Amino acid sequence: PAAEHPSVLDQFRTGVTYRARRQTAAIGTVPRRVGAMVRNPLGVAQEAVQSAVSAARMLRPVSEPMGPVMAARSLSVRFDALGLPASDEGGIQAGRRPPQ
């Protein structure tokens, strides 16, 4: 069976509906957040500072990995594409190595 591809209008409609649901959910949390700020302003401020510090840690540039798993990795290594002639009499297609 052929795959069905939604039209551009359907994709737009789905995106708008999704955004509307997200915004409605976000607006629904406002009274709870305001209540938390009134009941415990110091705790809310501490959480905001912790969130900001965490975001700064995640977004800062790093020159070396923090964990041992990525210690052997390097930004100085790169991979290049190899250029092979397209007409090698079927060598590549037939699974033979190209001449050195």
Q: How close are the terminal C-alpha atoms of the chain, in Å?
A: 46
Whole-angstrom CA distances from 43 to 40, 55, 57 are: 5, 18, 21
pLDDT digit string (tens) for 1-55?
A: 677 888 999 999 999 999 999 999 999 999 988 999 999 999 999 999 999 999 9
pLDDT tens digits along 48-89: 999 999 999 989 987 777 777 766 666 666 777 777 666 655
Secondary structure letter of residue 26 according to DSSP:
H
- Cβ contacts of residue 65 below 8 Å, gap of 6+? 71, 73
Kindly report the pTM of this predicted structure.
0.41
62: which 2 tokens?
């790093």
